[in-house]
Structure 1
Amino acid sequence: MDREAVALRVLAHYAAGPKAVDFVAPQSEWLDIRYCAEDDNATFYRELPDAEVIWHVLRPITADDLVKARRCVLVHKMGAGVNTIDVEAATELGIAVANMPGANSPSVAEGTVLLMLAILRRLTELDRATRAGRGWPSDPSLGETVRDIGGCTVGLIGYGNVAKRVARIVEAMDGQVLHTSTRDDGHPGWRPLPDLLAASDIVSLHLPLTSASAGMIDRAALERMKPGAVLVNTSRGAIVDEGALVDALRDGDLAGAGLDVFATEPVAADNPLLELDNVVLTPHVTWYTADTMQRYLEHAVDNCRRLLDGRELANAVNGIVFPNRPVNRETPSQ
């Protein structure tokens, strides 16, 4: 096989560990993968003009980036949400955009429940106290504040792959699950959003960032929640009004929050959420496990193979399912 004649040039826009590199190494005869950390703009813009495929994680891909990617025919989201890709610009340029719905669902669902438990059990606070030598006898307020998921009503806003997995886990722990979505789906647990907010001890967000969902959990929505309730967000930060959330947490209207996502990422050092003891924070990584990465790479390699073979792409989100590779290929930079 003439590797230079058929190999797809892939720009993997994330810092890959050795296991991920080894996983795709057997495809090296037909995949020419160049790795670039998301914060390494120098490498990104050096590799971008020669990339035919971009494996995209979180660092936004703008219209200007896509124009510079003069040989690109596919931007493949390593995940489900494509809000960090200028899909309209990609479509105008004839670049397919594909995603991987459901590939990260097991990991995000487990990470969501982890955040629920961490807040309900005051995990980070107790960890700090134990390290400081404040052990047994424990704080008597624990018996007044710490909760079991099995004693809670958990309200899921959005009811896609992740939310349904969270529901199964919570129900296995004897918790009651409610959910809301764009319309009544006939499920006995469905509630309109205002009713769900008022009835839930834990409210967990599982919906994409769109013009309709941006700012959905605003001051009024937070005021509808039960006193002492918990908010968990593993979807997109901009769905929540962070200023209103900070006020609710400081005033004690909410017992706590578990957040994996923020309105601005990476989260700014002066974000007041970082100062609150009743918040558990992770840096948009509930999806990021060895198991999810393997699923991502399986999907990404499969679509690259489809592209090379001229077959229909899986999970194309902008309608371009048979992208054309450049006919007269320039010699890639070495």
Structure 2
Amino acid sequence: MVTAAPRVLFHFAPTDVLRARLEPRLDGLDVRWCAEHDEERFAALLPETDALWHVLRPITAADLARAPRLGLIQKLGSGVNTIDLDRARAAGIAVANMPGANAPAVAEAALTLMLAALRRVVPLDAATRRGAGWPIDTTLPERVGEIGGRTVGLVGHGAIARRLEAPLVALGAAVVWHSPSGSAADPGWRPLDALLAESDIVSLHLPLTASTERLIDARRLALMRPGAVLVNTSRGGVVDEPALVEALRTRLGAAGLDVFAAEPIDPANPLLGLDNVVALPHVAWLTAETMDRCVDIAADNTRRLASGEPLRNLVP
């Protein structure tokens, strides 16, 4: 139990506008903000921190060793692969996440990436800006298409994937899905390899674990239909990136990627040299509305830490 106002290290540097929006949600908490790239400030704040609100910068054993008061690492999101969970457990530090808090934003971002990839938005935008958009490229009908009439395969079937189903169906897509917890008795469920072979668009919604690392490898990419689109808003490590580069050069139509195996991505990464790739810097989750939801959940759990109440969404 924390006796004074719990000291929070929020590993995020908001603008003045966003901070003013969030501060009314922080009543009773002593919040210190820190940009993820500001290692000096982060190290200085850790020793007096009771609750760390974690975004993306990995939390290591060395970080935890500098935080003797730390009682809670609150992930703003669901994936906890960026936290040294073994060390946190050994130190008696609770880790909690917030499944579903970013689902509306990530589902919309996945749909955006599907549409951008199918309609070649990035190269067409670039061509228009450099004055090369006209006369109309009459080869476009061979290279662009609609979601309607296509089969979309969702790999993973948590809150994000389930939220994505309704707009896909409304646009005329057939939706199939795979999750290890599903079975042939569930409507729309497919074994993973069958889903990959059946789908025109494959969208990944998986945590990064030992069992999902490079799950989408060269063999599985070869199962996908020629011209198919791969969208990844989960974790970059779920995909074998060199194999994806080769597939995009030879068989696949396009990819929409919000995440990469190493982040920030090296500008020399060959994925960024392909005009059939739409790339975002791991921001599918990042909207003002998501921040509202995440801060409400994080603040509630931190107050629970201070009062000795059970924490919500503890990670085993």
- Give the deviation of 1:27 after TM superposition: 6.1
Matching residue within 42, 54, 72 for 1:44: 42
Structure 2: how far apart are the matches of 1:278 and 1:139?
Answer: 16
Match of 2:59 in 1: 61
How far does the alpha carbon of each residue in 1:238-261 deviate from its partner, in whole angstroms, 9 at most, with x for none? 01000000011112x001100000
- Cα deviation, 1:268-301, whole Å, max 9, x if unaligned, reads 1211111111100000000000110110111111
Structure 2 letter corresponding to 1:298: D
Q: Give the Cα separation in 2 of the matches to 1:270 and 1:26.
A: 42
| Aligned residue number for residue 190 of structure 2 | 191
What is the match of residue 331 of structure 1? none
1:327 aligned residue: none
Kindly report the root-mean-square deviation, in angstroms, between the aligned alpha carbons of the 2 structures.
1.4
Q: Cα distance, 1:311 vs. partner?
A: 1.1
| Distance in 2 of aligned mates of 1:194 and 1:157 | 11
2:128 counterpart residue number = 130
Q: How many residues are paired up? A: 314
Aligned position for 1:99: 97
Aligned residue identity for 2:188: G
Moved more, 13-22 or 168-177: 13-22
Is residue 228 of structure 2 the alignment partner of residue 229 of structure 1? yes
Stretch of structure 1 that moved more, 128-137 or 53-62 = 128-137
Deviation at 1:172, TM superposition (A): 1.1
Match of 2:19 in 1: 21
Give the equivalent residue in structure 1 for 2:239: 240
TM-score (norm 1): 0.91
**Amino acid in the other structure paired with 1:11:** L
Aligned to 2:219: 220
In the other structure, the counterpart of 1:12 is 10
Q: Shift of the alpha carbon at 1:137?
A: 3.2
- Aligned equivalents of 2:147, 2:20: Cα separation in 1: 40
Q: Match of 1:34, SS? A: strand
% identity of equivalent residues: 54
Letter matched to residue 194 of structure 2: D
- Cα distance change, pair 183–100 in 1 and its aligned pair in 2 (3 A): closer
Runs of 4+ in 1 over 6 A off after TM superposition: none
1:17 deviates by 2.3
Per-residue Cα deviation, 1:188-241 (whole angstroms, up to 9, x for no partner): 211111111111000110010010000110000000000010100000000100
Q: How far off its partner does 1:168 sit?
A: 1.3
Partner of 1:323: none
Q: Which residue of 1 aligns with 2:86?
A: 88
2:290 matched to which residue of 1? 292
Distance of 1:19 and 1:50 partners within structure 2: 27
Alpha-carbon contact 2:3-2:306 (below 8 Å) kept: no
How far apart, in 1, do the equivalents of 2:182 and 2:27 lie? 50
Kept in 2: contact 1:36–1:44 (CA 8 A) = yes
- What are the Cα deviations for residues 114-162 of structure 1, in whole angstroms up to 9, with x where unaligned? 0000000010111011111123431111112211101211011111000
Deviation at 1:5, TM superposition (A): 5.9
User: What SS does the corresponding residue of 1:254 show, helix, strand or coil?
Assistant: coil
Deviation at 1:29, TM superposition (A): 6.0
The alpha-carbon deviation at position 303 of structure 1 amounts to 0.9
Q: 1:135 & 1:274 partners in 2: Cα distance?
A: 22
Q: Secondary structure at the residue paired with 1:6?
A: coil
Aligned equivalents of 1:25 and 1:250: distance in 2? 48
Q: Is the contact between residue 71 and residue 305 of structure 2 (CA under 8 Å) also seen in structure 1?
A: no
Q: Which is higher, the Rg of structure 1 or of structure 2?
A: 1
Q: Corresponding residue for 2:200?
A: 201
Query: How far off is 1:88 after superposition?
Result: 1.5
Task: Rate the CA distance shift 1:8–1:126 in 2: closer, same or farther, 3 A.
Answer: same
Note closer, same or farther for the CA distance 1:28–1:244 as it changes in structure 2 (3 Å cut): closer
Q: Which secondary structure state, in structure 2, belongs to the residue aligned with residue 10 of structure 1?
A: strand
Which residue in 2 is equivalent to 1:325? none
| Aligned counterpart, 2:161 | 163
Output the CA distance in 2 between the equivalents of 1:292 and 1:255. Answer: 31
Q: Aligned to 1:189, what secondary structure does the other structure show?
A: coil
